[in-house]
Amino acid sequence: MPVSGEPSPVLTLDGVTVRRASTLLLHDVTCQVPAGACTVLVGPSGAGKSTLLRLLNRFEEPTAGAVTYRGRPLPAWDVLALRREVALVAQQPVLLADRLLDELRIGLPALAEADAGALLRRLGLPSGAADRATSSLSGGEAQRVCLARTLAVAPRVLLLDEPTSALDAYATKAVETVIGELVADGMSVVVVSHDTAQVRRIADHVLVLESGRLIDSGSADKISSLQEGV
């Protein structure tokens, strides 16, 4: 149960363990993702951050324990319906269409060209880019187009795996601004980030992982490793 004064959880992990062959990726993780907030997953490489993120819309399955979304175990949801509500943007962009406008219409074929342009512009890309070939995009541009494609379907929860890893400072600021706006509008956002300064800028709630275990959680100003700059 949430502590009085804290947001209710939109997602809950209860004793979750993930084992792949002989490798233990997550061990007995119990935590909550508060609704209408930005939760950031931090920790060293290999700590289990991406695994935890992928559990939240069933791109990974727990070996033990349970994950619930809006009070229902994930297996009780139709998986396609779940992934429209809890949408994942992977770190490595995967583009499926030849033209940006068609890419943004993959999940919403009726998306108007003006709305597509507005999505691109919101993420720091020129609205006129809708007619560009996806093959002409840089890695950072492709990362933002994948985010725009996801936002087009208006998910309730947005899962972002290192969303600014290939971006310059200008594009990073645009994405962080969008995250803040989405949270202000009531969306729940979960972000994996290695950037301590970014965590301080965007996080309402932080989950710290190490060697597959949850070792700390709370607001950014209460996480000692963030204060130490680690």
Q: For position 4, what pLDDT does the model report?
A: 43
User: Could you tell me what percent of the chain has a pLDDT over 70?
Assistant: 95
CATH class of 9-227: alpha beta
User: Strand pairing partners for 19?
Assistant: 24
Amino acid at 93: P
Mean pLDDT of 61-71: 97
Least confident of 7-11, 32-36, 184-188: 7-11
142: buried, middle or exposed (CB in 10 Å: 19+, 13-18, 0-12)? buried
36: buried, middle or exposed (CB in 10 Å: 19+, 13-18, 0-12)? middle
Mean pLDDT of 21-34: 96
Q: Of 166, 211, 218, 176, which Cα lies nearest the Cα of 197?
A: 176
Give the start-to-end residue ranges of the domains of the chain. Answer: 9-227
Please determine, for residue 179, whether its predicted confidence score (pLDDT) is greater than 70: yes
Q: For position 152, what pLDDT does the model report?
A: 97
